[in-house]
A and B are shown apart, each in its own frame.
Chain A
Amino acid sequence: MATRTSIAIVEATEEWGAVIAGNLARDKSHRLLLMSTDPEKLDALVSKLTRYGGAELEAISCAMEACWEADIIVLAVEEEQEEMIMEKIKQVATGKIVISISPRLTDGKGTSSHVLRNTLPFSRLVEIGIVREEEAVKMVISGEDDEALLLAKELLDGVEPDGGTKSTATRA
């Protein structure tokens, strides 16, 4: 029997946070720590995901507490909140896989890479850029840690918002 992997989703009620949470909630091998500063939306999300009967779910209002308990951290944070959140969690993110989702990108390249790397230099970073090409949405996964890249790809397997995605793993 395997120990459940604890995955913190920071701002789980934001668009991509909810999509990722929905994908991961079906898997019983996971324990999801769903963090949001909006308690009503968070309660609604937990209620919705509980119906899948898969992952163990926990609602947490503090990003640092969620990331401290987590083995893997998913950041689905708005651009203006990014640096603040990363400062909050950096001490407890050391050595952990941190997957940052950036929905505002149009060219697939990490515009927030320098912020991520500067603030979380000792985490195993994976960046997911959302590329919108005409009517298709593409996720581009990049990072330097092979194991983290592979894990991110596995976690995102099955994510298909807005008519379909293709994910590609690249090395930065």
Chain B
Amino acid sequence: MYDLLFHHIGSKILLDGAGKEFLKTMFIPKKLRKKQYLLQEGEQGKYMAFVNKGCLRSYSIDEEGREHIVQFAIEEWWIGDMYSFLTGEPSDYNIDALEDAELLMIDRKAQNSILEHLPAYEKYLRILLENNYVATRRRLNNMMAKTAEEKYLDFIKQYPHITQRVPQHMVASYLGITPETLSRARKQRLTGK
């Protein structure tokens, strides 16, 4: 149950047996079925979730009922509303499972306990935040400066595993383009025009 988590943490910091045993007591194992919510808009995002198995998405819904996907998460990824997690304010996002999922969840209190008992965990969190900043900055640039086809090519290059697991209309939502535009971009890529 904890192998992927320990592999992920262990790839960034030194994690010994005692550290692993301690971490096991801090994470809450949770199974979600496809289409079940982890978080709904208006709730406090009490947990950050490490994905052991499955695929989830984080999205907002505008006034006209359109979904805007901000993130996907597959195995060894983290998902949650960090802003709500840190501030305690209601979330603007929904998080649900696109496939049956197995998660390891952590709340603020447990995270603080880990930081106290495993100081090296702070380095792990720093690396996650750095990677998140770089990915967010790259995405911002893509959204502003690239064509639909370029956005799509970048996406499939960077996240090939996700492309195969989520419906095309959701990929379109994530890229900020319509499904029709995405379809044209895919066709252009295939035909080379």
CB < 8 Å neighbour of A96 from B28, B32, B33: B28
Interface pair B29/A94, CB less than 8 Å apart: yes
Interface pair B43/A2, CB less than 8 Å apart: yes
A56-72 vs B, CB cutoff 8 Å, 1 = contact: the mask equals 00000000010011010
User: Does B110 make an interface contact (CB < 8 A)?
Assistant: yes
Interface pair B37/A3, CB less than 8 Å apart: yes
CB distance from B33 to the nearest CB of A (A): 8
| B42 partner residues in chain A, CB cutoff 8 A | 1-2
- Determine the residue in chain B with the shortest Cβ distance to A95: B28
| B28 partner residues in chain A, CB cutoff 8 A | 94-96
| B118 partner residues in chain A, CB cutoff 8 A | none
Interface magnitude class on chain B: 20 to 34
A75-97 vs B, CB cutoff 8 Å, 1 = contact: the mask equals 00000000000000001101110
| B29 partner residues in chain A, CB cutoff 8 A | 68, 91-92, 94
Interface pair B43/A3, CB less than 8 Å apart: yes
A96-127 vs B, CB cutoff 8 Å, 1 = contact: the mask equals 10000000000000000000000000100000
- Determine the residue in chain B with the shortest Cβ distance to A4: B37
User: Does B165 make an interface contact (CB < 8 A)?
Assistant: no
CB < 8 Å neighbour of A2 from B26, B27, B40, B102: B40
| A71 partner residues in chain B, CB cutoff 8 A | 30
CB < 8 Å neighbour of B41 from A1, A69, A95, A96: A1
Interface pair A91/B26, CB less than 8 Å apart: no
A-B contacts, CB under 8 A, total: 38
- Determine the residue in chain A with the shortest Cβ distance to B41: A1
Instruction: Report how far A33 CA is from B125 CA in the complex, Å.
Output: 35
User: Does B39 make an interface contact (CB < 8 A)?
Assistant: yes
| B39 partner residues in chain A, CB cutoff 8 A | 3
> Would A68 and B27 be within 8 Å (CB), given that A3-B40, A3-B43 are in contact?
no
Interface pair A68/B43, CB less than 8 Å apart: no
| A4 partner residues in chain B, CB cutoff 8 A | 37
| B32 partner residues in chain A, CB cutoff 8 A | 69
| B37 partner residues in chain A, CB cutoff 8 A | 3-4
| B185 partner residues in chain A, CB cutoff 8 A | none
| A65 partner residues in chain B, CB cutoff 8 A | 31
Q: Knowing that A91-B1, A94-B25, A95-B28 touch, tell me 10 more A-B residue pairs with CB under 8 angstroms.
A: A2-B40, A2-B42, A3-B38, A3-B39, A68-B102, A71-B30, A92-B29, A94-B27, A94-B28, A95-B110
Identify the B interface with A (CB < 8 A).
1, 24-33, 37-43, 102, 105, 107, 110
A-B contact pairs, 15 of them (CB 8 A): A1-B40, A1-B41, A2-B40, A2-B43, A3-B37, A3-B39, A65-B31, A69-B30, A69-B32, A69-B33, A91-B29, A94-B24, A95-B27, A95-B107, A96-B28
